[in-house]
Amino acid sequence: MKKVSQEKPLLTLIVPVYNEESSLNHFYDQTCKCTESMGVEIEFLFINDGSEDNTLEMLRQLCRRDSRVRYLSFSRNFGKEAAMYAGLQYAGGDYAAIMDADLQDPPELLPKMYDAVVAGDYDCAAARRVNRKGEGKIRSFCADCFYKIMTRLSGMNLMPGARDFQLMNRKMINAVLSLKEKSRFSKGIFEWVGFRKKWVEYENVERSSGCSKWSFGKLCRYALDGITSFSTLPLQAAFIPGMICWIAAVALLAVEISRFYVLSSDMRNWLLLFSFLMCLSGMQFFCMGIFGKYLGKTYEEVKHRPVYVMDECHLSERTEENEDEQNAK
């Protein structure tokens, strides 16, 4: 049995697994091979996300074979986001990397990613696919559209092709964990917390075995979760058509009234009624937009995200004392 030594820094590999009996051993062997010459201690932390196949039993066997292997097992399938969150919570390492079990996140990239972070120039090294070779055309198209819409709505620069395969230092792990929201969209969270990030590019790799656990419906829900977690704009969307409707109705009314007074032509009752109705529904939309604005603010508050994320601080002794006093209160 392999033993854990305490001298080197520890890198926790967080691996969510859901029905991965066909990929698990291959993933473990490949990752061991790719990481053996890295100057870091490795710890595997598998999160069994309610697998119905033999995955859990295989994890137990791996634990018996290798003391560096640990696992958490959920009572049912809670989704990859929940598994990643649990993984980050239970990761004991100075560094942690999130990886898929199907080898679509190539373990060969780990040494390069680790070197970038350990050198201190970056807090995170993130893998990015430069193409989607081998993936279905419709799925690629929908994914591209999603990232464009998401970037527009959230105002964050979501890198196309970015994966959850990110290696981060303890500072960034703690920042990610400080966002305790239940409906999680990690790709957005990793961007939201900031820090210096190095992008490591690679060509898409097809699944080693088995099939994707994401149905089209699951992907749509994931996309909606992403958008609603990082943008309240859809809530306020009624504001603009409301304004347009209202302005158009007032303009129509003004034209009709001037026709009546200047050209002495008859009032067209249907137009008066039409602009009155338009004005009314415009006001309703406008009010919905305002409700949306308040609801959006309430939504932001209940997420309890930190107001800021600290990277470094250098304070005078007196300020530090004051801070300690405030914290004590």
Q: Please say which residue, 15 or 249, places its beta carbon nearer to ligand UDP.
A: 15
Residue 80 binds ligand UDP, judged by CB under 6 A: yes
Would you say 14 and 84 are in contact if contact means Cβ atoms under 8 Å apart?
Answer: yes
From residue 210 to residue 249, the character string flagging contacts with ligand UDP as x (rule: CB under 6 A) and all else as - is --xxx-----------------------------------
Under the phi-then-psi rule, with left for phi > 0, alpha for psi from -120 to 50, and beta for the rest, what region is 79?
Answer: left
Distances (CA, A) of 172 to 167, 177, 193, 196, 293: 10, 9, 8, 10, 31
| 41 binds ligand UDP, rule: CB under 6 A | no
Per partner kind, with CB cut-offs from 5 to 8 A, the member of Mg ion, ligand UDP, none near residue 18 is ligand UDP
Cα dihedral 149, 155, 158, 160, rounded to 10, equals 40
Can you read off the two tokens belonging to residue 85? 């969150």
Nearer to ligand UDP, 87 or 282 (CB): 87
Applying CB under 6 A, among 21, 43, 100, 191 the residue interacting with ligand UDP is 100
Binding at 80: pick from Mg ion, ligand UDP, none (beta carbon under 5-8 Å per type):
ligand UDP
User: Which of 69, 96, 98, 101 contacts ligand UDP by CB under 6 A?
Assistant: 101
CB of 220 to ligand UDP, least distance (A): 13
Q: Counting contacts by CB under 6 A, is residue 83 touching ligand UDP?
A: yes
* 168: partner contacted, choices Mg ion, ligand UDP, none (Cβ within 5-8 A by kind): none
CB atoms within 10 A of CB 45: 23
Q: For binding to Mg ion (CB under 5 A), which residues are involved? A: 100, 102, 104
Q: Write the CA distances from 162 to 28, 113, 144, 191, 193, integer angstroms.
A: 23, 14, 11, 11, 16
Q: Quote the CA–CA distance of 5 and 156 in Å, as a whole number.
A: 41
- Asked if 124 and 169 touch (Cβ cutoff 8 Å), the reply is yes
Q: Applying CB under 6 A, which part among 97-105, 121-129, 235-243, 318-326 lies near ligand UDP?
A: 97-105
Which of 73-81, 108-116, 141-149, 298-306 is the region at the interface with ligand UDP (rule: CB under 6 A)? 73-81
What string of DSSP letters covers 265-305? PPP-HHHHHHHHHHHHHHHHHHHHHHHHHHHHHHHHHHTT-
Q: Name which of ligand UDP, Mg ion, none residue 81 binds, using a CB cut-off of 5 to 8 Å depending on partner kind.
A: none
Rank residues 201 and 311 by Cβ distance to ligand UDP and give the closer one: 201
- For CA atoms 147, 152, 156, 157, the dihedral sign is positive
Q: In this structure, which amino acid lies at residue 60?
A: R
Structure tokens at 198: 């190095």
Selection from Mg ion, ligand UDP, none that 163 binds (CB < 5 to 8 A by kind) is none
Quick one: which segment of 10-18, 150-158, 173-181, 273-281 binds ligand UDP (CB under 6 A)? 10-18
Contacts with ligand UDP, residue ranges (CB under 6 A): 16-18, 20, 49, 77, 79-80, 83, 100-102, 104, 212-214
